[in-house]
Amino acid sequence: MTWTPVAADDELGVGQMKRIAPAGKPLLLVKAEAGYFCVDEFCSHEDFSLWFGCVKGNAIKCSLHGSYFDLASGQPLNEPADCPLRTHPTRLEAGQVLVETT
């Protein structure tokens, strides 16, 4: 397990996303109402980039078919997606957002 700095603490506003690839794998860092979350960039339904979606509360919406995913658990909140997104722990340290990768 490795913690990698991926953004400054104040880099994103609530509702904003940043594409990151701390271990060569495309991920999204998202600042939601409850803070920073990190999930796989591509939707579990049809591999569409969630970068084109939007953040609402503590969920992210896939713009291709409209499924929302809970950013904390990765679970889909409505159809058609029925598989969770992979989530990655985040933490703040010394003004940086760190993401844990395996």
Q: To the nearest whole angstrom, how small is the minimum distance from the Cβ of residue 66 to ligand FES?
A: 6
User: x/- string (CB under 6 A) for ligand FES, residues 52-71?
Assistant: ----------x-xx-x----
- Residue 73's SS3 state is coil
Measure the CA–CA gap between 89 and 67, rounded to whole angstroms. 22
One symbol per residue from 70 to 99: x for binding ligand FES (CB under 6 A), - otherwise; what is it?
----------xx------------------
Per rule CB under 6 A, is residue 48 in the interface with ligand FES?
yes
Q: Which amino acid is at 97?
A: V
Specify whether the CB–CB gap between 65 and 84 falls below 8 A.
Answer: no
The DSSP call for residue 52 is G
- Site for ligand FES, rule CB under 6 A: 43, 45-46, 48, 62, 64-65, 67, 80-81
